[in-house]
Amino acid sequence: MVKTKLKTGDNVIVITGKEKGKTGKIKKVLRRPNRVMVIVEGINIGKKHLKHIENVQEGGIVEIERPIDISNVALIDPKTGQPTRVGYKIIEEGNVIKKVRVAKKSGEIIDTVWEKTK
């Protein structure tokens, strides 16, 4: 299984492709055996033709968000607003050990992955 440093709810910017420069929030992370894709709110919109099924769904053409490969998006640094890579840091505070996600450009803490007591 492929490991990823981005997760649902992260603000990202598209760095390559036809949607380059657009920003949005990750709605879903799709893990496949040999690649990881993300669905980002309002980005990579495609049309899907739906057949009418009585009492279940309306028929017609619907716009949906299509997946983007995870290598084509980058996390937005919370401090500078620029694209950045993500790293991990272990922080010890008294008798508590925390593993946190960190923005590589500014060193800003993004969020806590886990917390343990000694």
For residue 101, the SS3 value is strand
Say what the pTM is: 0.87
The candidate with the shortest Cα–Cα distance to 9, out of 26, 31, 24, 22, is 26
Rounded Cα gap, residues 44 and 14, in angstroms: 10
- pLDDT-based confidence at 111, cuts 50/70/90? very high
Amino acid 1: pLDDT:
59
Options 2.60.40.10, 2.30.30.30, 2.30.40.10, 3.30.9.10; which CATH number does 1-76 get? 2.30.30.30
Structure tokens that stand for 52 in this block: 């009418």
For residue 72, the SS3 value is helix
Give per-residue pLDDT as tens, 18-32: 999 999 999 999 998
Give per-residue pLDDT as tens, 63-109: 999 999 999 999 999 999 999 999 999 999 889 999 999 999 999 99
* Other Cβ atoms closer than 10 A to 5: 13
